[in-house]
Amino acid sequence: MTLGENIVRLRTQKNWSQGDLADALDISRQSVSKWETDASIPELDKLLKLSELFGVTLDELVRGEDAPKAETAAPAAQAVPASFTPQTSSEQEKRHTIAGTILMCIGAVLLLTCLILAGDLLAGLIYGLPFFLCGIICFTVKHRTGLWCGWAAYLCIDLYLRFATGLSWTTIFMTHLWTPQMNYMRLAIAWVQFAAMVLMTVWTVLAYRKMKLSATKKELKWLAAGWLAALVALPLLMSYGVMPLLLDDLGNYSNISPYFLLNVVYSYARLALINVLLVRSLAVWRLKREEKKAEK
């Protein structure tokens, strides 16, 4: 039995997912996957932590069930240190189910309240949508549930503000031109939208801070092409390709118009692309930094 097969067997006995084990070891899930397929071998410090996590000796970890049993191995097979113990999948699922149920109930209460008291189904759907979406995420997403709930809430609120006020975070570039007649509250809303977008981007980067990727030629090409598209190609296409075709519609920006809808889709697609590129670029940088340290 190989080391990778032993890790799979011991992890399965603990009812842990690859993500659980990765979180306990402070590494990426991809690293655990490579160990289990024997594509790579854990470093010595990781082997020691694995033996503590699984409650086995190093010999048993490496050689598996064929390793000789020794009485001296008993202390090592006792309680696993609390700092290394991840939550079991069943515990996480239970917490997610409870959170999802609570969120769905809150959304239903808001919907019924608006429907009964005001007779406004649309308002109830608008107010309840963030809670319904977050509830569905809690039921279906196992890892980084809070992050995806945060993005769902952000997009719902930002989309509502765009339709209700006609403002987006790009309005902050007009700050130096703003006058009291233009209503400073509208400018404040734009700044709040911008701050929320930055906060969610930082949260996303931090949530994937353990991710590491090899700097292969294919990966670097995709990253270069992605950054070129996000920072150059898409803005140029929007400014000189789409906008000139919709000049007659620009004065109708605050209504549900083709230009408005295209601009919303463009903004969210570009935001998603930039977040993906940030996460993957930092993952490549982390692995290269570790390789340089190992060479020294």
- Sign of the torsion angle spanned by Cα atoms 172, 176, 179, 180: positive
The candidate with the shortest Cα–Cα distance to 136, out of 103, 109, 90, is 103
pLDDT at 71: 44
Helix (H) or strand (E) holding 228: helix 217-228
How many C-beta atoms lie closer than 10 Å to residue 286's C-beta?
16
| Rounded Cα gap, residues 193 and 187, in angstroms | 10
How many C-beta atoms lie closer than 10 Å to residue 285's C-beta?
13
| Rounded Cα gap, residues 167 and 160, in angstroms | 10
DSSP 8-state assignment for residue 253: T
Burial 261-273 (b: 16+ CB within 10 A, else e): ebbbeebeebbeb
Domain ranges of the chain: 3-84, 89-163
pLDDT at 130: 94
- Sign of the torsion angle spanned by Cα atoms 47, 53, 56, 61: negative
CA distances from 36 to 50, 90, 246 (A): 13, 22, 54
pLDDT at 279: 94
The candidate with the shortest Cα–Cα distance to 167, out of 124, 197, 147, 123, is 197
pLDDT at 293: 79
CATH number of 3-84: 1.10.260.40
pLDDT at 78: 44
Any idea how long the chain is? Answer: 296
CB-CB contact of 274 with 265 (8 Å): no
pLDDT in tens, the chain (296 residues): 788 888 888 888 888 888 778 878 878 778 888 888 888 888 887 888 888 888 888 888 887 655 555 444 444 444 444 444 555 556 778 888 999 999 999 999 999 999 998 888 888 898 999 999 999 999 998 888 999 999 999 999 999 988 888 888 888 999 998 988 888 999 999 999 999 999 999 999 999 888 888 888 888 999 999 999 999 998 888 877 766 665 555 555 445 667 778 888 889 999 999 999 999 999 899 888 887 877 76
pTM of the model: 0.69
pLDDT at 275: 96
| Rounded Cα gap, residues 223 and 237, in angstroms | 19
Angle, CA 262 vertex, CA 256 and CA 265 arms, to 5°: 110
CB-CB contact of 121 with 114 (8 Å): yes
